A and B are shown apart, each in its own frame.
Chain A
Amino acid sequence: MHELAICQSLLREVQRVAARNDASEVVRIGVVVGPLSGVEAPLLERAFTLARCGTIAANATLEIEEAPLTVWCESCGVESQVAMNALLCGRCGTWKVDLRSGNELLLKQVELSRDETAGATG
């Protein structure tokens, strides 16, 4: 259950973004999670509902985009969609491939709202 620790880290980052942008509230948080990131999206969602309490993101929604798992085979020049424990070229079957996507663990986007009285210039 390291998802809670990751969620707390995510929220600290979001709070800094909010502070830098003089936000009064965080409306939406967008993250990208790959299957090989070691993070389970449903667990992250559940941890988020706890971790957000009392923060500037207390009412925010968490949107998780799941990245595809793909590898690139240099000898075939082919990109294949693969399973987590079989990172093999879909054409020749070699394991000598590069991971193209699938280990992402990214904070992608934060949607903020701001009090108009807070001095926004528009």
Chain B
Amino acid sequence: MCDQCGCATTPDTVHVHDHAGVVTTRSVDAQSVEILTGLLHENDHVAAHNREHLDRHGILAVNLMSSPGSGKTSLLEATIDALGDRHRIAVIEGDLETENDARRIREKGVPAVQITTGQTCHLDAHMVHDALHALDLGAIDILFIENVGNLVCPASFDLGQHANVTLLAVTEGDDKPAKYPVMFRGSDLVLLAKADLLDVLDDFSPQKAVGHVRDLANPADVFTVSARRADTLVPWIAWLEDRLAACRGGMAPRPRSHPASRHSHHHPHHAGAAE
């Protein structure tokens, strides 16, 4: 599957690393096997592999998520304008259909790989792995992965990114973090986007949005940004450059706890669980 790097990511070989296999009872014709492996073990393994590739090249990889229409692509265009002279950027675009977003990014002179997922509501680590092979990793400093517009499913799939960034446009409700706790609990940064509209939208309170993020026990920064106003992007650009410096210094950050990759805190140690 992965000819360029010589890695083994086929389903048959990933399991070499499992935590499995304590046989608790055994009779002639029946047995119960205790596993305690993540349900997304296979995805998580490929995600870890992607992260290793990115780490080796000193690339910062950011998983950009939001509901559809929150302005992910516009933010990327503005980010390329702000950062493109200093750092080499590449983008992986996830959409159900069309190459439109990748085309917009390419018009900025930045390489973009479009993944069309068909009816699949999220990107997974395998799709990103294939997309990585379509990019020259030696020529990238920051990789943005623009996930499928969806605040539910993408939260469950680790891709190998270093940080999760979630956009919440001020045209949405400021209680979105309370409605989609899995997504916002796993966010390393929340961007309140389209902030130029705050002047005319008096029902969105940035303070309330921050409060809802804190209610998820999440200390992540929350920045107010507008893709139309370069001055509002300064904290976001600084945030990216801090993390890029960490990646280059061999101190690549890890995303906040990922549901699927987390194991139980209360591993049962009992034996003989089955009859």
Query: Quick check: A111 and B274 within 8 Å, CB to CB?
Result: yes
Contacts of A98 in B (CB 8 A): 217
- Given contacts A106-B36, A110-B35, A16 and B15 within 8 Å (CB-CB): yes
User: Is A57 in the interface zone, CB < 8 Å from B?
Assistant: no
Q: How far is the CA of A99 from the CA of B263 in the complex (A)?
A: 12
User: Is B28 in the interface zone, CB < 8 Å from A?
Assistant: yes
User: Is A112 in the interface zone, CB < 8 Å from B?
Assistant: yes
Contact with A along B16-37 (1 / 0, CB 8 A): 0000110100011111111111
Query: Shortest CB–CB separation between residue B143 and chain A, in angstroms?
Result: 23
User: Is A58 in the interface zone, CB < 8 Å from B?
Assistant: no
Contacts of B179 in A (CB 8 A): 85
Query: Shortest CB–CB separation between residue A86 and chain B, in angstroms?
Result: 5
Interface size band for A: 35 or more
Query: Quick check: B217 and A5 within 8 Å, CB to CB?
Result: no
User: Is A91 in the interface zone, CB < 8 Å from B?
Assistant: no
Query: Quick check: B124 and A103 within 8 Å, CB to CB?
Result: no
Q: How far is the CA of A113 from the CA of B31 in the complex (A)?
A: 6
Nearest A-chain residue to B153, judged by Cβ: A2
Nearest B-chain residue to A6, judged by Cβ: B39
Q: How far is the CA of A31 from the CA of B216 in the complex (A)?
A: 25
Query: Quick check: B178 and A105 within 8 Å, CB to CB?
Result: no
Contacts of A71 in B (CB 8 A): 217
Contacts of A111 in B (CB 8 A): 30-33, 274
User: Is B243 in the interface zone, CB < 8 Å from A?
Assistant: no
Q: How far is the CA of A36 from the CA of B39 in the complex (A)?
A: 14
User: Is A101 in the interface zone, CB < 8 Å from B?
Assistant: yes
Query: Shortest CB–CB separation between residue B39 and chain A, in angstroms?
Result: 5
What is the count of residue pairs linking A and B with beta-carbon distances less than 8 angstroms? Answer: 153
Question: Which one, A13, A36, A96, contacts B37 given CB within 8 A?
Answer: A13
Contacts of B185 in A (CB 8 A): 36, 87
Contacts of A36 in B (CB 8 A): 181-182, 185, 259
Residue with the highest number of chain A CB atoms closer than 10 Å, among B122, B182, B217, B257: B217
- Given contacts A2-B153, A13-B42, A108 and B217 within 8 Å (CB-CB): no
**B249-275: which residues lie under 8 A (CB-CB) from chain A?**
257, 259-260, 262-266, 273-274
- Given contacts A9-B43, A38-B156, A87 and B257 within 8 Å (CB-CB): no
Question: Which one, A5, A95, A120, contacts B29 given CB within 8 A?
Answer: A120
**14 new A-B pairs (CB below 8 Å) besides A37-B259, A104-B264, A116-B29?**
A2-B156, A9-B40, A13-B39, A17-B21, A32-B264, A85-B215, A87-B217, A95-B214, A96-B219, A105-B38, A107-B39, A109-B33, A110-B33, A120-B28
B interface list, Cβ under 8 A from A: 11-12, 15, 20-21, 23, 27-43, 120-122, 124, 152-153, 155-157, 177-179, 181-182, 185, 212, 214-219, 257, 259-260, 262-266, 273-274
What are 11 contact pairs spanning A and B, CB under 8 A? Answer: A1-B153, A2-B122, A2-B153, A9-B39, A16-B11, A36-B259, A87-B185, A96-B219, A106-B39, A108-B35, A110-B33
